[in-house]
Amino acid sequence: MKAKFNKMLYGGDYNPEQWPKDVWQQDMELFDKAGINSATINVFSWARIQPAEEVYDFRELDEIVDTLAKAGKQIVLATSTAALPAWMVKRYPEVARVDYEGRRHKFGQRHNACPNSPVYRHFVKELTARLAERYGSHEHVVCWHINNEYGGECYCENCEKAFRVWLRKKYGTIEALNKAWNLTFWGHNIYDWDEVVLPNALSEGIEGEEEPGNEKTAFAGISIDYRRFNSDSILDNFRLERDTIQQYDRDTLVTTNLMGTYKGLDYFKWAKEMDIVSWDNYPSYDTPWSTVAMWHDLMRGLKNAPFMLMEQTPSQQNWQPYNSLKKPGQMRAQSWQTVAHGADTIQFFQLRRSVGGCEKFHGAVIGHAGSDQTRVFREVAQLGEELNRIGDSIIGSKTESKVGIMFDWDNYWALEYTSGPNKDLKYVDQITRYYEYFYSKNMSVDLIPVDADFSRYDLVAAPVLYMVKEGMAKALERYVAEGGTLVTGFMSGIVNESDNVHLGGYPGPLRALAGIWAEEIDALAPEQSNEILFTDGTKACCGLLCDILHLEGAEEIARYGSNFYAGTPAVTKNAFGKGYTYYVGSVLSEDGLAKVLDLACDGAGVASVIGEETELEVTRRISDAGAVYFVMNFKDQELPLPTVFAGKKDLLSGQTMEEGEMLGKYDVRIAVL
């Protein structure tokens, strides 16, 4: 087990190569004033380090490292492989990606390299080796940051050839491939591996006015496999750099920055290859705080361990449609929310605002004025003082959850590739709806993979578990039979890992577990809705999709109130061994879903982390000193402090909290109970 950080890193992306050297010392002084103790460097410096194929020049990077070291700053050292130097694309144009439309890209942008290019991989390995050999033993280098925000796709000939090799390893025979992809449909049978082509706009992709881009496909089997292959290909690039670093430095943590629920990469698979998960948090002006919390819980759940916040903006972003300033106190509260959900670092993009380029209006600790007399700088300095005072005592502390919500990239891809039944059905939207319930109740949640140890949880929610792969149904049956509570529902148990339907009736392998049969699935347009009637007489709305259910041992919790299937079950509960499965047959209104989840939580014995109701967000991490509680107000009105904290010391202010104390918007309290 590699040692984690000896202090909570507070810093962010720093690009001194963009500035004259007389600015560097000013920056060190400003960093000290802000309490910044670290910097992430060399993220996009490949062209400066290697100005030509045979030429390496580390003099500038040496000076940057020396400047930070002399100032006592810890260094997150990036490998700068996320953007190609111009000479490489000029001399070896095959390193550039081919896009979904089949166009070979020229030099420009970033994430612009084909992951299966032997030329790119050669130069990546050579550069990474030189960096690791030169800086791997430096006492101020505490983390390696490989590449940056991996993502994108390539559809070039190299990738097509590599895809065929990947498929041969996966399926073994052409016959198995034809069966997996159901290629008898439309007479698409293939008889040679070289007949496999990548699924882009020139082949299996389906375009239309309502579906721009590459979200639909004639053959989901090939498109899902391409997603898996592309994620694996880019992951191979990460492994290449990591393994090269570890030839020279086996002690320093290695990471790369992820992006929350980013669709393109299977982060659960990636996390197994990373020493510590890091990610970049950029909510928009109207992103619900519950969604931000869910992103953090997913990043923590990838390794079931604390994570790094690699990037957030001190105030303003530049690349969203509406780039509002963060209000006074918002950045501080957002940062403490990040720590509350498992972060052991708080880092910004960026430390000094760029002069030019598309990110010149992206927020920074030091703005274009170069002054410490700004609102943003003062708030950064306040947070820096707080983190320096109490942050280190939180490092490594754990989060204990009794609720797990399944998140699975195979399901993400498959559900949104499928043609029908409703184009408005989106995977993350449905996960978010469930998460919001537990967030509102201050019930701690882990976002977990489909192969998790379910026995750790009293309740597991698996909304839209569309793809049920081999072994999953048996694992869920064991969990429920041994006393667990499972909540699932519509569009679950439909297909196998190749997107072929499980025959015998929906929800396929989950049918016995749920005790129901879904005969048909009705799709409702946005202007349409239905009503459900609970057995206790209460009502709620539903829409989007409605499963038409038959009971096969389950009991009815609610029934439909209209349409030709009025009076048939809409929500059910089934006893299975010592536990229960709840099946939610439609997209319920917020109050309707809450009623179902109230029943499930009461039966499973799941409760709030503090045992009393409040609209404040209350989160808990378990440290050697005890349970550390974070109390935060993200509402527009003042809210009273929960009574359990009365008489306890607020670690941020040092003051004793009082009964009836009111917290304004973005106020934060931290206490040990």
Q: Which positions are annotated as active-site residues? A: 149, 311
114 is in an annotated binding site: yes
Q: What is the spatial distance between Cα 491 and Cα 276, in angstroms, rounded to a whole number? A: 34
Q: What is the spatial distance between Cα 232 and Cα 228, in angstroms, rounded to a whole number? A: 6
295 is in an annotated binding site: no
Q: Is the dihedral of CA 581, 587, 588, 593 positive or negative?
A: positive
CB 173 within 8 A of CB 180: no
Q: What is the spatial distance between Cα 217 and Cα 208, in angstroms, rounded to a whole number? A: 11
Listed residue (415, 412, 410) closest to 545, CA to CA: 415
Q: What is the spatial distance between Cα 74 and Cα 69, in angstroms, rounded to a whole number? A: 7
601 is in an annotated binding site: no
Q: With helix as H, strand as E and coil as C, how does 597-610 read? A: HHHHHHHHCCCCCC
CB 345 within 8 A of CB 5: yes
Please report, for residues 340, 346, 446, 458, the alpha-carbon distance to residue 602 in angstroms, rounded to integers and kept in the order given: 25, 36, 19, 11
Q: What is the spatial distance between Cα 266 and Cα 411, in angstroms, rounded to a whole number? A: 11
156 is in an annotated binding site: yes
CB 254 within 8 A of CB 78: no
Torsion of CA 354, 358, 363, 366, to 10 degrees: 0
541 is in an annotated binding site: no
Place of tokens 């720590």: 339
Question: What strand order describes the sheet that includes 257-258?
Answer: 9-12, 343-348, 307-311, 278-280, 257-258
β-sheet bridge partners, residue 461: 405, 487
Q: What is the spatial distance between Cα 206 and Cα 334, in angstroms, rounded to a whole number? A: 40
Annotated binding-site members for Zn(2+): 114, 154, 156, 159
Annotated binding-site members for substrate: 110, 148, 319
Annotated binding-site members: 110, 114, 148, 154, 156, 159, 319
